[in-house]
Chain A
Amino acid sequence: MFDGIQFNSLGEFLAMGGYAFNVWSVYALFAIFLVANLALPLRKRRRILREQRRRLAAGAGREEDGAADRAGWEVSRQPGARAAGWEKRNDEAASAQ
């Protein structure tokens, strides 16, 4: 299968027919690109999990408290409201104009 190789020596391979800089810089960029976009997410994942563990160790379940307990509500009827309270004010406001 090695018959198909287009180069006779390592030196020839590295020289790329005089285009060594162009060919190898493209492949180098490509390699950096691949490695970076795989390694960085993996590293970030380890960091996230480590932080998560530290948070859990520091205060297990503390987030749960206080998060939900003020989500209550109540509807009430206000007995104190006078029946005709606003009508009287109407006159006041009108006379004040």
Chain B
Amino acid sequence: MLEVRALNCERNDRLLFRDLSFTLEAGQVLQVKGGNGSGKTTLLRIICGLNDSYRGELFWHGAPLGEQRDAFYAGLLYIGHRVAVNRVLSPLENLRWSSRLHHPADDGRIRGALGQIGLAGYEDSPCYSLSAGQYQRVSLARLLLHGGDLWVLDEPFTTLDTRGVALLENLVGRHAESGGAVLITTHHKLTLPGLRALTLGVAR
């Protein structure tokens, strides 16, 4: 599905990774590991096209990614560590908007997804009144709503409680099983079938 070939990235004159190559096929989960500053987030942002100070090639379904941005974005679901949830809007209003950018969903489905993610009863309260974990869960509801073949998740576990962690791990597992692919950065120990790990910042 996604192939990364000979990726080089420099930040502030420091080489983050050299000749990084890997592939991510349907049904696979790849956990990106590495210490702080090893370039995990940078790698994810490069793949998503949010950062273009790199050398190397990216392929999406076998063809160069740069030539089919729209198709790639239609199949991409990215949750950065800034989770794109507006604080003055309610979870429902946030998801109404973001689903229009991906796969339109009616209010019933959105409420259903919010219930599934553990936010039943909070659909209409402004997001600033939610706890940090609940706030993060709003973004996780997008995983249920927006479809997308490739999930790119940057530190999605940071503020979640154990139940939230289990829920997300479950979502990731199910997505892989149904033919999706997941690229995830976390320090959390994942227990998933066929999990692979990419460790950055290894001494050569």
Let me know if chains A and B touch directly in the complex, using CB atoms closer than 8 Å. Answer: yes
What does the 1/0 interface line of B90-115 toward A look like (CB < 8 Å)?
Answer: 00000000000000000000000001
Main secondary structure of the interface of B (DSSP, over half): mixed
B203 touches A70 (CB 8 A): yes
Known contacts: A81-B193, A81-B195, A83-B193. The answer to whether A70 contacts B38 by CB under 8 A is: yes
How many residues of A sit at the interface, in one of the four size bands?
20 to 34
Q: Which residues of B (171-204) have their CB < 8 Å from a CB of A?
A: 172-174, 190-204
Q: Determine whether A68 belongs to the interface, using a CB cutoff of 8 Å to chain B.
A: yes
| Chain B residues with CB under 8 A of A96 | 163
Known contacts: A73-B20, A93-B163. The answer to whether A86 contacts B169 by CB under 8 A is: yes
Q: Which of A71, A78, A82, A86 contacts B16 (CB 8 A)?
A: A71
A84 touches B16 (CB 8 A): no
| Chain B residues with CB under 8 A of A89 | 166, 169-170
What does the 1/0 interface line of B37-75 toward A look like (CB < 8 Å)?
Answer: 010000000000000000000000000000000000000
| Chain A residues with CB under 8 A of B163 | 92-93, 96
A87–B200 Cα distance when bound, in Å, is: 29
A86 touches B170 (CB 8 A): yes
Q: Determine whether A85 belongs to the interface, using a CB cutoff of 8 Å to chain B.
A: yes
How many residues of B sit at the interface, in one of the four size bands?
35 or more
A76 touches B199 (CB 8 A): yes
A80–B195 Cα distance when bound, in Å, is: 9
A93–B162 Cα distance when bound, in Å, is: 9
Shortest distance from the beta carbon of B4 to any chain A beta carbon, whole Å = 11
Q: Determine whether A77 belongs to the interface, using a CB cutoff of 8 Å to chain B.
A: yes
Q: Determine whether B167 belongs to the interface, using a CB cutoff of 8 Å to chain A.
A: yes
A81 touches B197 (CB 8 A): no
A70–B204 Cα distance when bound, in Å, is: 6
The chain A residue sitting closest to B14, CB to CB, is: A67
The chain A residue sitting closest to B167, CB to CB, is: A93
What are 18 sample pairs from A and B whose C-beta atoms fall under 8 A apart? A67-B13, A68-B204, A70-B38, A71-B201, A71-B204, A72-B18, A72-B201, A72-B203, A75-B197, A76-B196, A77-B195, A81-B192, A81-B193, A85-B192, A86-B192, A87-B170, A92-B166, A93-B167
Listed in ascending order, the chain A residues whose CB lies under 8 Å from chain B are 67-78, 80-87, 89-90, 92-93, 96-97
